[in-house]
C-alpha cells in the first residue's frame, strides 16, 4: 500500500474509532440524561401511558387519573377539590410539567422509581401494566378545609403543624387555582395556563412556602425568647427599663411609639406581649444585639431553606445596624418570614423549645401497599431551653386570655391556648394596607398537637378594620379546633 493510501486508511480508522466512542458515550454515559431530558417527548408520553399513583390524605386520594381520547397521552391527571389542595399537590400537566408533590415524587407516582423494580417486574410477569405508587401525606382534610374556607376570597396563607413531630397538618394559600384546568395538552389548557400566568393576584404563588412577609408583632415571641436565652431578663414578670416612647439607638431622637397608651413604660415582658409594646421589644432586641438576635432567629429556622419535601424559601433575619436591628425585633425593617416559618416558631415554643423538622409526606408505598420509604421525625434544632419556652408560653397564653377579641370558646378549660397577633407595616412609610398575622398553639395533657400561623395579605377591607386578632385569629382557632376534634375522634 502506498503512502497516500495508508494515510487515508489511518484517517478512516480514526473516524470509525471516534464514531464508536461517540456511540458508546451516548448509549452508556448520556443514556439517563437523554432519557429524562425535558425535550424527549417519549418520556412525556410514557409518563401518561398509565394511571399515575395518588396523593393520599386521611386514607383517601385527592388525585386521580382519567382516560383520554388523545393519540399520545392515554391518561391525564385529575384532582378532588383542586383549588383547596393545589398548594400541596402542585400540578401535573401534559403540556406544562409538574410542581410541588407531583414533581418531587414524580418517579414514585409514575412507577419509574428504582425502588419499585421488584413490583414492576411482578406486574410484567403477570401481564399487568406498570402502575404508580402512592404518596401518603400528613395532611388533615378537616384542618385543610377549615384553613381554605377561613381564608375564603382573601389573599393569604395558613400553615398548621404538629409540634410533637413536625408533621404539616394544613397548608393553604389563596387565591388558588384548579390544576385540572390545564392538565391536558389542548387549546383550552393553554388558555387556562396563560390566564393564570397573567393574573395579577398570582394564584399559582404558594404563599405558605414561597412568599416572605414582615412578621410584625408575631416576631416578638422570638425577641422575648432571645432576651431570656441571652440572660437579658430572668423572668417575664420582672419590670423592664424601657421608656415610652423608645428612642431608636444611633438616631437623632427618633421615637418608637406604642398603639396602647400609658401601659408600656417599663412594662414586664408578659404585659408587653399582651399589649404588643413596640418600645419594650425594640429595646430588648437592641440590648441582645444583632448577633444574638440572629443566633436565636436561626435556632427557630430563619436564614435557611426548608424542604418539606417541597422547597420553602428561607426567612431572613439579616445582619444590620442598631436602629434596623431594633425594628427587626418587632418584626419590621428587613425581617422577613414565610407562614411556614412562623408556624415553626409557634410549634417550637409549644413543644418546650424543641423544633421538629417540618414535613408533609409520611410514607411512599407501592400499588400493593408495600412501604418503600417511611419518614422518621427528627429534631431540627433545640430552639430554646424548656424554661424559656415555658415562660414564653405563659406570655402567649396571657395574650389569648386577656384579649376580648380572640374567641377561644371552641376549646375546653383543659386545653391551653397561646397566641400572638401581628399587624405588619407595608409599603414605603406604611402607605399600603398592613398584613394581618396570628400565630398560635394548643396544648393538652398529651402535649401540643397543633400550632398555626395565619397571614392575611389582602382582606379587601378598610385599613382600620385590619388586625391580626380580627382577621387572622378566627381562622387559626377554627384550624386548631379541627385538629383537636380529629385527635379525639
Active site residues: 217
The residue behind cell 395532611 is: 139
Report the 10 Å Cβ neighbour count for 485: 14
Report the 10 Å Cβ neighbour count for 373: 16
Identify any residues that bridge with 256 across adjacent strands, giving them in sequence order.
246
* 100 in Cβ contact with 88 (< 8 Å): yes
- Cell numbers for 285: 432586641
* 407 in Cβ contact with 477 (< 8 Å): yes
* 278 in Cβ contact with 257 (< 8 Å): yes
C-alpha closest to that of 221 among 263, 267, 272, 165: 272
Q: What are phi and psi of 368, to 5 degrees?
A: -95, 20
C-alpha closest to that of 221 among 312, 344, 354, 314: 344
Q: Which residues have a Cβ under 8 Å from the Cβ of 416 and sit 6 or more positions away? A: 393, 397, 442, 443, 444
Q: Which residues have a Cβ under 8 Å from the Cβ of 282 and sit 6 or more positions away? A: 242, 246, 248, 256, 326, 327, 329, 330
Q: Which residues have a Cβ under 8 Å from the Cβ of 268 and sit 6 or more positions away? A: 236, 237, 238, 239, 240
Task: State the burial class of residue 388 (Cβ atoms within 10 Å of its Cβ: 0-12, 13-18, 19+).
Answer: buried
Amino acid at each position: 500500500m502506498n503512502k497516500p493510501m495508508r494515510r487515508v486508511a489511518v484517517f478512516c480508522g480514526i473516524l470509525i474509532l471516534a464514531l464508536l466512542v461517540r456511540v458508546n458515550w451516548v448509549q452508556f454515559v448520556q443514556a439517563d440524561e437523554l432519557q429524562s431530558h425535558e425535550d424527549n417527548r417519549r418520556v412525556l408520553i410514557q409518563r401518561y401511558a398509565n394511571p399515575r399513583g395518588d396523593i393520599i390524605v386521611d386514607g383517601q386520594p385527592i388525585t386521580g387519573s382519567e382516560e383520554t381520547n388523545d393519540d399520545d397521552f392515554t391518561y391525564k391527571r385529575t384532582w378532588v377539590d383542586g383549588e383547596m389542595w393545589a398548594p400541596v399537590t402542585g400540578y401535573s400537566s401534559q403540556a406544562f410539567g409538574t410542581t410541588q408533590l407531583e414533581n418531587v415524587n414524580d418517579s414514585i407516582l409514575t412507577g419509574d422509581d428504582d425502588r419499585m423494580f421488584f413490583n414492576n417486574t411482578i406486574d410484567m410477569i403477570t401481564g399487568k401494566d406498570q402502575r404508580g405508587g402512592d404518596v401518603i401525606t400528613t395532611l388533615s382534610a378537616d384542618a385543610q378545609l377549615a384553613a381554605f374556607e377561613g381564608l375564603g376570597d382573601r389573599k393569604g396563607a395558613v400553615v398548621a403543624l404538629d409540634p410533637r413531630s413536625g408533621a404539616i397538618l394544613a397548608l393553604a394559600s389563596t387565591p388558588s387555582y384548579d390544576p385540572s384546568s390545564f392538565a391536558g395538552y389542548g387549546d383550552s389548557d393553554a388558555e387556562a395556563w396563560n390566564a393564570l400566568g397573567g393574573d395579577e393576584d398570582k394564584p399559582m404563588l404558594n404563599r405558605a412556602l414561597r412568599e416572605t412577609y414582615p412578621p410584625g408583632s408575631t416576631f416578638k415571641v422570638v425577641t422575648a425568647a432571645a432576651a431570656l436565652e441571652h440572660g437579658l431578663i430572668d423572668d417575664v414578670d420582672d419590670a423592664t427599663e424601657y421608656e415610652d416612647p423608645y428612642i431608636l439607638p444611633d438616631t437623632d431622637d427618633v421615637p418608637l411609639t406604642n398603639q396602647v397608651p400609658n401601659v408600656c413604660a417599663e412594662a414586664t415582658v408578659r404585659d408587653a406581649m399582651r399589649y404588643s409594646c413596640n418600645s419594650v421589644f425594640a429595646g430588648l432586641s437592641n440590648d441582645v444585639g444583632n448577633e444574638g438576635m440572629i443566633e436565636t432567629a436561626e435556632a427557630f429556622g430563619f436564614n435557611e431553606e426548608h424542604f418539606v419535601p417541597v422547597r420553602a424559601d428561607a426567612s431572613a433575619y439579616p445582619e444590620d445596624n442598631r436602629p434596623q436591628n431594633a425594628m427587626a425585633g418587632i418584626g419590621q425593617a428587613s425581617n422577613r418570614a414565610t407562614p411556614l416559618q412562623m408556624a415553626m416558631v409557634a410549634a417550637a415554643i409549644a413543644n418546650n423549645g424543641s423544633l421538629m423538622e417540618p414535613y408533609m409526606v409520611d410514607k411512599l408505598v407501592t400499588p400493593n401497599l408495600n412501604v418503600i420509604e417511611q419518614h422518621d421525625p427528627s429534631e431540627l434544632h433545640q430552639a430554646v431551653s424548656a424554661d424559656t419556652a415555658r415562660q414564653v408560653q405563659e406570655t402567649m397564653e396571657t395574650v389569648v386570655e386577656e384579649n376580648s377579641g380572640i374567641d377561644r370558646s371552641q376549646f375546653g378549660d383543659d386545653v391551653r391556648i397561646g397566641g400572638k397577633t401581628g399587624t405588619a407595616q407595608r409599603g414605603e412609610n406604611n402607605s399600603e394596607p398592613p398584613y394581618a398575622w396570628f400565630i398560635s398553639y394548643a396544648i393538652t395533657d398529651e402535649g401540643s398537637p397543633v400550632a398555626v400561623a395565619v397571614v392575611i395579605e389582602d382582606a379587601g377591607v378598610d385599613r382600620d378594620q385590619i388586625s391580626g386578632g380580627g382577621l387572622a385569629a378566627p381562622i387559626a382557632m377554627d384550624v386548631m379546633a379541627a385538629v383537636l376534634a380529629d385527635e379525639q375522634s
